[in-house]
Amino acid sequence: MTPLSRRVLLGTGLVVFAIVLGLFIAPNPAELDDDGDPFTGRWLVNGTDPLGVEYSGALTISETGSEYELSWIVTGFVRTGSGELEDDRLEVSWEVVQGIGPGRSGTATYSIEDDLLSGTLTIDGIDDLGREEGFPPR
């Protein structure tokens, strides 16, 4: 791949990312979640991964039967995952599907504290923990 091709690909990816992120954070007068489940819906997230890299973006959590599906669109990558409730925690396995570190995987554990999403993240093969906070869009 030539340097020009890389720049075009990166530029296109950034434009698509900005458009999708705009759709996630645009004001939405409709109720995002009316099922009473505190985890489901859209969250604006800020975090630091186990490597110390800071990121921000959007996380969507939906419930499909007894399992939860998660999709992150954040600075530098798109990550998807699935998880289950364990007591009052959401236990998740995730994988980077596009962007920086494709194929990288790990786990996350989320809880709800004062209507905010609070979580820890791991990356497979890395000993340190990352942290992530989620805020409902207003």
User: How would residue 129 be classed by pLDDT, with cut points 50, 70 and 90?
Assistant: very high
Could you tell me which residues are beta bridge partners of residue 93? 82, 107
And the tokens for 30? 């409709």
Q: Which run of H or of E encompasses 63?
A: strand 54-64
Domains, the chain, with CATH or none: 3-135 (2.40.128.120)
Q: Which two tokens stand for residue 13?
A: 């990816």
Cα gap 76→127, rounded to integer Å:
22
What lies within 8 Å, CB to CB, of 22 at 6+ separation is none
Q: Is 94 helix (H, G, I), strand (E, B) or coil?
A: strand
Is the pLDDT at 84 greater than 80, yes or no? yes
Contact, 48 vs 66, CB < 8 A? no
Q: Is the pLDDT of residue 29 over 50?
A: no
pLDDT confidence bin for 32, thresholds 50/70/90: very low
pLDDT at 95 over 90: yes
- SS3 for 41? strand
